[in-house]
A and B are shown apart, each in its own frame.
Chain A
Amino acid sequence: DAGITQSPRHKVTETGTPVTLRCHQTENHRYMYWYRQDPGHGLRLIHYSYGVKDTDKGEVSDGYSVSRSKTEDFLLTLESATSSQTSVYFCAISDSVRVAYGYTFGSGTRLTVV
């Protein structure tokens, strides 16, 4: 979707190194989310943000941190990457706390930790 971009699209990194993934939106939406997608698990929520500097944990937050210093950017950091964090990471945005209005997803970042 043109209103939300993720970078990088692909990354290979070594175990123990820090990694930061970026989600950038041009929609001025308040809510932003980071999910990871793994076979057999669907999408699982890592962290989410409900405004600048306001973030909270999802169901699989261990080993991850986030920051949101501007409305348009939501960063996901793996402080010390592990092989279990090899996954496809999706960012999503929403303009309402009522999820019924729908999420818009980015195209994903494929991360491989070797």
Chain B
Amino acid sequence: AQSVTQLDSQVPVFEEAPVELRCNYSSSVSVYLFWYVQYPNQGLQLLLKYLSGSTLVKGINGFEAEFNKSQTSFHLRKPSVHISDTAEYFCAVSDQETSGSRLTFGEGTQLTVNP
């Protein structure tokens, strides 16, 4: 079984500042990793995903994440945030080796971008 820990429940930043949202995972097998974003009163949208290959993954809206196998981490970054990035962000994991494996989500990180 796998698990996900998002290390910060709330991250306040000022507009145009860089941001990093931290995610660690635990699994005994190889994994797929995902970041989802949830804007207020909406469902979840996929930001980016790591399946294999390059450890630096680029997603929508200028976000990127780096897979670090030795640290079992998948931190999300953006060099300059906008007010519109205010949302809740979820890290999720699925193992590669179990047929029908499903997503396991972290607890979420609320990113608030202030003017």
A→B interface (CB under 8 Å): 1, 33, 35, 40-45, 48, 50, 58, 90, 92, 97, 99-100, 102-103, 105-108
Within 8 A of A (CB), among B84-115: 90, 94, 96, 99-103, 105-108
- List the B side residues contacting A106 at CB < 8 Å: 43
Q: A50-B100, A102-B46 are in contact. List 14 more A-B contacts (CB 8 A).
A: A40-B9, A42-B105, A42-B107, A42-B108, A43-B44, A90-B44, A97-B100, A99-B32, A99-B102, A100-B32, A100-B51, A102-B34, A105-B36, A106-B43
Docked complex Cα distance between A104 and B85 (Å) = 20
**Given A40-B9, A108-B43, A48 contacting B102 (CB threshold 8 A):** yes
Q: Nearest CB to that of A50 among chain B residues?
A: B100
Within 8 A of A (CB), among B53-104: 90, 94, 96, 99-103
Query: Shortest CB–CB separation between residue A11 and chain B, in angstroms?
Result: 15
Query: Shortest CB–CB separation between residue A73 and chain B, in angstroms?
Result: 18
Query: Shortest CB–CB separation between residue A35 and chain B, in angstroms?
Result: 8
- Interface size range of chain B in the complex: 20 to 34
B→A interface (CB under 8 Å): 4, 6, 9, 32, 34, 36, 41-46, 49, 51, 90, 94, 96, 99-103, 105-108
- List the A side residues contacting B102 at CB < 8 Å: 33, 45, 48, 58, 99
Query: Shortest CB–CB separation between residue A114 and chain B, in angstroms?
Result: 21
Q: Nearest CB to that of B45 among chain A residues?
A: A105
Taking a contact as CB atoms under 8 Å apart, the answer to whether B107 and A40 are in contact is yes
Query: Shortest CB–CB separation between residue B92 and chain A, in angstroms?
Result: 8
Taking a contact as CB atoms under 8 Å apart, the answer to whether B99 and A43 are in contact is no
Docked complex Cα distance between A45 and B104 (Å) = 8
Taking a contact as CB atoms under 8 Å apart, the answer to whether A99 and B103 are in contact is yes
Docked complex Cα distance between A48 and B100 (Å) = 11
Taking a contact as CB atoms under 8 Å apart, the answer to whether A100 and B44 are in contact is no
Docked complex Cα distance between A103 and B49 (Å) = 12
Taking a contact as CB atoms under 8 Å apart, the answer to whether A43 and B90 are in contact is yes
- List the A side residues contacting B108 at CB < 8 Å: 42
Docked complex Cα distance between A33 and B102 (Å) = 9
